[in-house]
Chains A and B, each alone.
Chain A
Amino acid sequence: MMRFLLLFSRQGKLRLQKWFTPISEREKKKIIRDMTTMVLARQPRSCNFLHWKDLKIIYKRYASLFFCLAIENQENELIALEVIHRYVELLDKYFGNVCELDIIFNFEKAYFILDEFLMGGEIQETSKQMVNRSIEASDMLQEDDSSEWFEVELFG
C-alpha cells in the first residue's frame, strides 16, 4: 500500500499532505522535513526512486511542484510513477492546465480529487472519466455559499 503522498514546492513549502496510516503530528513534521531535504537535494537527472527507512520513495517533478509518494517495499515502483502521473492528469483536466497556484488556492479541491482516485493507500478508480464525473457531480451538489447574502450592502 501507499503510505503517504506529499506535494511541495521547490522551496520546500508544503502544498498537500495525504497520510494513509495514523502518525503523530510531530512525526509528520519530521517526515515532511526529511522528504523535502532528500528530494530537493537530488541531482536533476537521477532516477526517481529513493530508499528511506523501510519504504521506497517515488518522486517526480512537475513544473514547480514535487510529487513525493511513499510505498511499501514490495510494491512496484514503476506503476507508482504512473499513479503520480495519473493524479497530475486528473488535476489538469479539472483545473485546465493546472499550475501550482491552482493547487494553492483550491487545495480542498485537490484533496477531493485525490479522494476519488486513491483510498486507504490503494487505487480506487482506474478510469479518468469516472473520477472526473464523480467530482463534477459532487461539485453540483455543493449548495451555493449562502453567506453570499451577508456580503450585500443594505443601504447605498
Chain B
Amino acid sequence: MINFDSVRRREPVRASFTNLWDIDDSSYFLASLRLRMPAPIRLRELIRTIRTARTQAEEREMIQKECAAIRSSFREEDNTYRCRNVAKLLYMHMLGYPAHFGQLECLKLIASQKFTDKRIGYLGAMLLLDERQDVHLLMTNCIKNDLNHSTQYVQGLALCTLGCMGSSEMCRDLAGEVEKLLKTSNSYLRKKAALCAVHVIRKVPELMEMFLPATKNLLSEKNHGVLHTSVVLLTEMCERSPDMLAHFRKLVPQLVRILKNLIMSGYSPEHDVSGISDPFLQVRILRLLRILGKSDDDSSEAMNDILAQVATNTETSKNVGNAILYETVLTIMDIKSESGLRVLAINILGRFLLNNDKNIRYVALTSLLKTVQTDHNAVQRHRSTIVDCLKDLDVSIKRRAMELSFALVNGNNIRGMMKELLYFLDSCDPEFKADCASGVFLAAEKYAPSKRWHIDTIMRVLTTAGSYVRDDSVPNLIQLITNSVEMHAYTVQRLYKALLDDISQQPLVQVASWCIGEYGDLLVSGQCEEEEPIQVTEDEVLDVLEGLLVSNLSTPVTRGYSLTAIMKLSTRFSSVNRIKKVVSIYGSSIDVELQQRAVEYNALFKKYDHMRPALLERMPIMEKSASNGPTEIVQTNGETEPSVVEPKHLPPVTQPVNQANDLLDLLGGNDVVPVIQNTMPTKPASAGGELLDLLGDLSLSGGPAPAPASSVPTSQPSFLMDGLSSQPLFNDIAAAAIPPMTAYNKNGLKIDFTFERANPNPNIAVITIHASNSTEADMTDFVFQAAVPKTFQLQLLSPSSNVVPALNQGTVTQVIRVLNPQKQQLRMRIKLTYTLKGSPVQDLAEVNNFPPQSWQ
C-alpha cells in the first residue's frame, strides 16, 4: 500500500517521463505519481516575457519572480536545469540586476562533464566571477583539469577564461600548464595559449622568463592565428624587459620576411580584407618592428626597405589600407629611419589630411601633432591644409587642428597664421575659446612682428572673446601696454572706442579702465599718431568710467579698476571737482573694497593733497620677472615701484605686513595667489599700512634693477615669488646645511625629501619631495598629500607632473612649506595615491625621521 502522504509533495501537474526509465520497479509508482512544478522556463521564453513589460516596475516584478524561482531551483541542487537557470541569470545580470547568488552555480557548471554546462559555466564565470570575488580561486582546480581535457574545445574554454580574467594567484598556479600548451602542435590551442601567456605576464611579470624557451619557434608557424598571437606575446615581452628586447632583436629579419610575404603573396581567401592579406597581422608586425627598431641603428636599417615598400604599395581606397599606412608611419617616425623615409611618412600624413574620411583626417592631425616637434619643417609644408581643417565641422578635428596650428606658428608665418586663428576664434564654439585665446596670446608674445601688431591682436581677442580669456591675462596685458611707450595714445584710444561699444566683457573693461586712468590725458588731447585721433572731452571720459561703476554688468573687480582710474585722472584732467564728488559718494558704498578705496582717495584729496600728484604719476615701465605666457603670472606681494615715494616710508611698512602675508599664504592650501589680489597696483606704500593692500596684482620686479626669479632671496620680502616655480629656488643656498632624507620607500615608489630654509623667515622650512619609481610601469595619476600636527601650518605647491616614469627615468617634484613657529619636532603624515598597471594603489605613512636641523 502506498502511503501518499509520504510522497514528497513538490509541485503539481506534469509527471516526468525520463524518470520512468532510470528507476527500479519498486519505486516506479512513486516516481510516476511524483508531483512536480513545471520545469523552469526556458531562456528564450524569459527574454520574450521580460520584453513585454511596459514599465520598469513591471520588469522588476517579473525579474524578482523569476529570480525567486531560480533561487529555489538552485537550492534543490538540480543538475538538469542549472545550465538554463544560470543562462537566465546572466541575461538578467545584463539588464542590470544583481546575480551574485549564481556564482557558485557557475562553479558547479564548470565542474560538470557536459559541454553545454561548461560553456555556460565559463561564460558565467567571466561575467560574474572576476578576481575581486572571494570564490574566484575555487575555479583554479577545474580550469587545471580542463586545460588537460581530451577535447580541445574544453581546453579552449579553460584557456580563454584564464586568459581573460585569471587572478595573479591563479596565473601563478597554472602558468606551467599554459607553458606546456604553448609548445603543442595543435594550432587552435597554441594560439590561445600564447594570449593566455600574455595575460599571465601582465599579471605576474616575474613569470616572463619561463615562457622564453617556448617562444623559440613561434614565428616559423604557418598558421596566422598562432603567428598573430605570437607577435602579441613577443611584443608584450619586449615592452616589459630591455633584456628580452635585446634578445629578440635577432628576429627582425624573420619579421621582415613574413611581412614581405603578406604583401607580395597573391589573393588568400582566408585572410583577405578588401584586397589586403591579413591586415591585423601586418599591423601587429609593424608595431613589433617599431619596438625593436627604436634606438637601434642596425635593426632600423634592416627594416627600411620593407617600410618603404609597405608605404608605397598599400592600397589606400579603404580604411583597412589606411590603417596599415598609419601604423607604418608611426613606425617610421619612431625608429632611426633615414630622412627620405621620414619625409615619405609625413607626406602620407599630408595625404591623409586631404582624405574625405573624417577618421583618417583625425588620425593624421593627431600623428602630426606628435611629430611636429621633431620634424617641424616637414610638417610646415602641410600648414595650409592643417589650417583648412579649422573649418571642419567635426569637433574632434577642429580641436586637433587648433592645437597643431599653434604648434606650427613661428616668426615667419605669424601674420598669416594669426589671421586664420583669429577668424577661428570668432566663429568657434565656446568650448574652444578659452584655449584658443590663451594660445593666441602665447604665440603673439613669442613672435609678434611689431608692438602695434601685438596690441591690435590683443585688442581683437579681447573684443571677440573677451569673456573667455583667463583672468590672469589682464595684468599681463597691462604690463605689455606699459612697455610699448610709443603706442600709449593709440592703445588708449582703441580701448576707449571698444568700451563705447561694449562693456560686458570684464577683462576688456578692466584693461581699458586701467589704460584710461593712466593715459587719459593723451586721449583728450588727441595725440594719436597711428590712426585718426578722436575728439573726446574729459566729461565724456568720466561719463564712461562712471557708467562702469554703476553698471550691473561690472564685477566688483572691475568697479575697483574704474574707481582707481577716475582717481588717477584727478591729476591729469582739470575737472577735479567732479572726481572729488564721485569719490566721496563711494565712501559709503556697500562693497567694502570700493568703500575702502573711496575713503582713502578722499583722504588723498583732503589731508594728503600735497602728495596726490606724486602718487598718481604715470606708472613706469614694468619688467616682467618671469617670461612665461599669460598662463603663469609671478606675483609679488607688497612690492613697490622703483621711483615715486619717499623711500624711508617703505621698509617699516613692508616688513610687518609681509610677515602677516607669509602666514596668510600658508593658510591657503594649494593656492599661491596672495590674499590681496584684485587690487590696483597704483599706490606704493606711503604712510599707514592700509595702503599696502592696494599693491600686488601686477608682476612687478623688486627694486629698480630687474630681478629675475632665480636671484630672489635675501632682501626681498617677496615671499611668493620664490615658491611659484616648481623648482626649489634655494637649492644651492641652504641645501648643504640640512641633509636630505628618504621619507618613504615601498613597492617601488621612493620619496626623498630635500630641505631649504626660507629666507627671511627662519620658521619656515621648504621641503622638496622627489618621487621616483623603480617598477617597470609608469605610475600615473600620482597624488601626494601631507598633514602635520596642529601647531604647524602646511602649504603644498603644485607638483611638476602626476606621472612618475618607470625604471627611475625621472622624478616628480613638489614643494612643501611648513611653518613651525613653536619650533616643535617636525612630524608628517603622508598619503600617496597612484595607478600602477591599471590598478589604483593607495598608501598612508608617517614620516618621523626628519633631521633635527629642519625644525630647530
Contacts and interface: CB of A to CB of B under 8 A. Distances in A.
Interface of A: 14-17, 19-24, 29, 43, 45-51, 54, 76-79, 81-83, 86, 104-105, 107-108, 111-112, 115-116, 119-120, 122-130, 134, 137-138, 141-143, 145-147, 149-155
A122 B232 contact: yes
A126 B360 contact: no
A154 B123 contact: no
A53 to B, nearest CB: 10
B108 interface: no
24 contacts: A14-B95, A15-B94, A20-B164, A45-B393, A78-B322, A79-B280, A79-B320, A81-B323, A82-B280, A82-B320, A86-B273, A108-B123, A120-B196, A122-B195, A122-B232, A123-B229, A124-B191, A127-B271, A129-B270, A130-B270, A141-B151, A146-B80, A150-B39, A155-B15
A46 B228 contact: no
A78 B273 contact: no
B412 to A, nearest CB: 31
A76 B394 contact: no
Given A20-B164, A112-B123, A149-B18, A78 B323 contact: yes
Nearest to A146: B80
Nearest to A138: B153
Interface stretch (B84-92, B298-306, B479-487): B84-92
Interface in B72-103: 80-81, 84, 87, 90-91, 94-96
Given A76-B327, A146-B80, A45 B358 contact: yes
B270 A112 contact: no
A29 B196 CA distance: 27
A125 B225 contact: yes
A66 to B, nearest CB: 15
Nearest to A17: B94
B188 A134 contact: yes
Given A112-B119, A155-B15, A22 B396 contact: no
B131 A124 contact: no
B281 A126 contact: yes
A60 to B, nearest CB: 10
Contacts of B525: none
B444 interface: no
Nearest to B233: A122
Given A82-B279, A147-B39, A77 B90 contact: no
Contacts of A105: 44, 47-48
A130 B359 CA distance: 30
Given A43-B394, A49-B362, 6 more contacts: A46-B358, A47-B396, A49-B363, A76-B283, A79-B320, A120-B199
* A-B pairs, 8 with minimum CB distance: A78-B323, A47-B358, A149-B18, A125-B225, A79-B323, A154-B15, A120-B199, A141-B115
The SS class assigned to the B binding surface is helix
Interface string B15-51: 1111000000000000010000001000110011001
A49 B80 CA distance: 46
A77 B358 CA distance: 12
A107 B396 contact: no
A78 B321 CA distance: 9
Contacts of B780: 54
Given A47-B362, A143-B114, A108 B191 contact: no
Given A122-B195, A122-B232, A126-B280, A47 B273 contact: no
Given A78-B363, A107-B94, A112-B123, A149 B17 contact: yes
A129 B280 CA distance: 15
A21 B838 contact: yes
A127 B224 contact: yes
B160 interface: yes
Interface in B247-287: 270-271, 273, 278-281, 283, 287
Contacts of A24: 132
A122 B198 CA distance: 9
B87 A108 contact: yes
B120 interface: yes
B80 A78 contact: no
Taking each of B232, B278, B360, B361, which has the highest tally of chain A beta carbons within 10 Å of its own beta carbon? B232
Nearest to B165: A22
